[in-house]
């Protein structure tokens, strides 16, 4: 049984079809990446999994339970957290308040504060800025905060939507190191990324999406050496 099984989902924005039968699986402990160009349906796939834009047909199963028609809050409670595209930290809340909100569904107060300490260990920069408003921080720091905030829900599966977007190269490397660390500590990761180079370097497997469909799927190794992928996404 895979941790996450997405089967033939079709998702629409109004009448516009965004996903045309996407199927994918994520096994426990893996890092899986979705790559593809603009409008390929990468973010929509994540929005369908988290029910922000539920799939119209098809099914999403998590831990062998149907979650296609669940509420977003229910899906977070089941153990899927998302780091949204563009980070979306609460700009007028402090770093700490943002992290607290990440644990919104949890009731175990003492565990929450020790988890915050763990996030601060992972991102010492956040501890320095604990009382600063999130909106006043740099893009890289906000990305750290967004990841930390999502981890506060103690997810089994972490969804990351374009974590490298708009970041300086140095920061991108640091974010990707952290993604690997989080995975090694036991969290499964589904990563959406335009920058295929970074994504394929860290992921175990990948799916290439084109116009709402899975064009290709393989291990990261093979995708990196695939000439079509190289031409289209790796700029080789």
Partner 1 sequence: MATFDSVMQRPVGPRGMTVSTIAAIAIVAFAIVFPLFFDPLSGFLGTSIQALAYVVMALGLNVVVGFAGLLDLGYVAFFAIGAYTTGWVMSGFYGEANIHVFVTSTVEALPGIHMNFLLVLVIAALLCAVAGVVIGLPTLRLRGDYIAIVTLAFGEIIRVFAINGPEIRPFGENYPLTQGKQSITPIDQIDLPFLEPLNSILSLRGYYWVILGIVLVCLFVVLRLRDSRIGRAWIALREDEVAAASMGIPLVKTKLLAYLVGGAMGGLSGAFLGPFIQVVNADQFAFSFSIFILAMVILGGLGSVWGAVIGALVLTFVNNYLIPDVLNGVPGALGLDFQFSDLGFGVFGFLLVIVMILRPQGLFPERRRAIELTEGLDGPPGGPPMGATPAPTTTRGEA
Residue 201 in the binding site for partner 1 (CB under 8 A): no
Number of residues engaging partner 1 in binding (CB under 8 A): 43
Question: Among residues 47 and 205, whose Cβ is nearest to partner 1?
Answer: 47
Residue 216 in the binding site for partner 1 (CB under 8 A): no
Residue 162 in the binding site for partner 1 (CB under 8 A): no
Q: Quick one: the chain helix, strand, coil %, rounded to 5?
A: 40, 25, 35
**Beta pairing, strands 4-13 & 65-66:** unpaired
Cα(223)–Cα(142) distance, integer angstroms: 31
Question: Among residues 97 and 213, whose Cβ is nearest to partner 1?
Answer: 97
Cα(190)–Cα(80) distance, integer angstroms: 10
Residue 198 in the binding site for partner 1 (CB under 8 A): no
Cα(45)–Cα(23) distance, integer angstroms: 10
- The angle at the Cα of 127, spanning 123 to 133, to the nearest 5 degrees, equals 110
**Number of other residues whose CB lies within 10 A of the CB of residue 83:** 25
Residue of 84, 148, 206, 212 that binds partner 1 (CB under 8 A): 84
Question: Least Å distance between CB 133 and partner 1?
Answer: 6
Question: Least Å distance between CB 116 and partner 1?
Answer: 15
Residue 100 in the binding site for partner 1 (CB under 8 A): yes
Footprint (CB under 8 A) of partner 1, residues 30-59: 50, 52
Residue 81 in the binding site for partner 1 (CB under 8 A): yes
**b/e per residue, 159-168, with b = 16+ CB within 10 A?**
bbbbbbeebe
Question: Least Å distance between CB 67 and partner 1?
Answer: 13
Residue 225 in the binding site for partner 1 (CB under 8 A): no
Residue of 31, 49, 82, 223 that binds partner 1 (CB under 8 A): 82
What is the C-alpha end-to-end distance of the chain, expressed in Å?
A: 37
Cα(84)–Cα(98) distance, integer angstroms: 14
Cα(161)–Cα(185) distance, integer angstroms: 20
Residues 124-153: x/- map of binding to partner 1 (CB under 8 A)? -----x-xxxxxxxxxxxx------xx--x
Residues at the interface with partner 1 (CB under 8 A): 50, 52, 71-73, 76-77, 81-82, 84, 86, 88-93, 97, 100-102, 104-105, 129, 131-142, 149-150, 153, 167-168, 170-171
């Amino acid at each position: 049984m895979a941790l996450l099984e997405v089967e033939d989902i079709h998702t629409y924005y109004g009448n516009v079809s965004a996903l045309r039968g996407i199927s994918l699986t994520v096994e426990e402990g893996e890092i899986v990446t979705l790559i593809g160009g603009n409008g390929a349906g990468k973010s929509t796939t994540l929005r369908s999994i988290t029910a922000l834009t539920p799939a119209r047909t098809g099914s999403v199963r998590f831990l062998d339970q149907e979650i296609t028609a669940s509420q977003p809050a229910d899906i977070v409670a089941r153990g899927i957290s998302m780091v949204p595209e563009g980070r979306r930290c609460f700009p007028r809340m402090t770093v700490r308040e943002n992290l607290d909100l990440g644990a919104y569904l949890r009731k175990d107060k003492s565990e929450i504060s020790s988890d915050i300490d763990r996030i601060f260990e992972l991102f010492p920069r956040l501890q320095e800025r604990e009382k600063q408003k999130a909106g006043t921080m740099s893009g890289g720091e906000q990305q750290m905060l967004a990841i930390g905030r999502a981890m506060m829900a103690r997810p089994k599966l972490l969804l990351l939507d374009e974590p490298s977007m708009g970041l300086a190269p140095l920061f991108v490397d640091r974010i990707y190191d952290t993604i690997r660390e989080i995975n090694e500590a036991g969290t499964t990761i589904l990563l959406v990324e335009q920058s295929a180079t970074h994504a394929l370097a860290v992921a175990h497997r990948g799916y290439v999406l084109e116009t709402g469909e899975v064009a290709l799927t393989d291990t990261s190794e093979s995708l990196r050496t695939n000439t079509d992928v190289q031409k289209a996404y790796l700029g080789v």
